Structure 1
Amino acid sequence: MNKESKGNVVSELSELLNSSKATFLADYRGMDVEAVNKLRGELRQVGVDYRVAKNTLLRIAAKGTAAECLESHLQGPTAVAFASDDVAAPAKVLADLAKDSKFFELKGGVMDGKPLSVEDIKALANLPSREVLLGKMLGSINAPATNFVGVLAAVPRSLVQVLAAIQEQKAA
């Protein structure tokens, strides 16, 4: 790799580190091509850019970014997953693979400038997806209005039931 192509890789990695909400590092040593391609496909479906990077180039690219704290994890083969939208979905894919595969091991990550340990990534993986959380929040917001409408409807319903009971009593 010549100096110009290394510079291009560093600038591309730096741009990805700056634009991503979360970055996850993993050791992929021993994985076969089929497993890596399957992982890339799964991560692509959740909107994640997955790359294998040289540690020295990644170290240079991380200088001055929020991912600078990842320098201690840059040893051995390093795969990087850049999550730009939902951070729980890629954490789930990576944590599941790390649990199922003896060749794939999470190293750490960074989210919004804060370093993430392997345990933090596993905790993120256990969170429901963004859509589920939004649905729960909307349900919570909607519940008081629904209950209020039920209370308002109960008053005329009770009046109608009382009138119906009086009518039945007079008819008998």
Structure 2
Amino acid sequence: MDRKEKSELVAALHEKFVEAGVVVVTHNNGLTVAEITALRRQIRDAGASFKVTKNRLTRLALAGTKFEGIGNLFTGPTAIAYSKDPVAAAKAVSNFAKGNDKLVILGGALGDNVLSVEGVQALATLPSLDELRAKLLGMIQTPATRIAGVLQAPGGQIARVISAKAKKDEAA
């Protein structure tokens, strides 16, 4: 890699760090090509991205971003997972790491906050942004459905009483 390619890579990584909401740093020692491909697919499906990086260039790209505090995590064979959604990358990496011991989570950052391994795991247990939106929409729609049911109930009860009265009168 010549200097121009390195500077372009640093600039591209810097842009990704500026746009990201969360970054998770992992050790990927011993993962096969098939396992990395499966990991990338799983992360992509979650709405995040995964990149194997060069440590020195990544530390340069972190300069001037909100993720500067995680620069010390870049030692050894590292890779990063990042996303705009504050939960997507952490959840995808954590789920993959549960089934594969070769992927080790080193830590991460959520905005200016540096996260330990436990912090990343805790973040992974939270519902994603889309799940929260769905729950909120369900909570908003539920009261309207209940109100409609309550308003219809007295009319239905009156109709049943009148029907019973009419049947009683017919029988007599």
Q: Same fold (TM over 0.5)?
A: yes
Which deviates more from structure 2 when the two are superposed, residues 93-102 or residues 5-14?
93-102
Q: Is the 8 A contact 2:23 2:108 kept in 1?
A: yes
Structure 1 segments, 4+ long, off by >4 Å, are: none
Q: Does 1:124 align with 2:123?
A: yes
User: What is the TM-score with the length of structure 2 in the denominator?
Assistant: 0.88
Identity %: 34
Q: Would the aligned equivalents of 2:108 and 2:115 in 1 still touch at CA under 8 Å? A: yes
The equivalent residue for 2:99 is: 100
Q: Which residue of 2 aligns with 1:24?
A: 24
Deviations 1:49-69 (A, max 9, x none): 221222221111111101101
The count of corresponding residues between Structure 1 and Structure 2 is: 171
2:6 maps to 6
Structure 2 residue identity aligned to 1:2: D
What do residues 123-168 of structure 1 show as CA deviations (whole Å, max 9, x unaligned)?
2322334433322211111111111111111222122122223223
> 1:1-172 alignment to 2 at 5 Å?
1-84=1-84, 86-171=85-170, 172=172
Contact 2:73 2:107 in 1 (8 A): yes
The TM-score normalised by the length of structure 1 is 0.88
For 1:147 and 1:99, the matched residues in 2 are separated by: 41
| More off after superposition, 116-125 vs 147-156 | 116-125
Letter matched to residue 59 of structure 1: R
Gaps of 5+ in 1: none
Secondary structure at the aligned position of 1:154 is classed as helix
Helix, strand or coil at the partner of 1:26: strand
Work out whether residues 22 and 89 of structure 2, in 8 Å CA contact, stay in contact via their aligned partners in 1: no
Cα RMSD over matched residues?
1.8
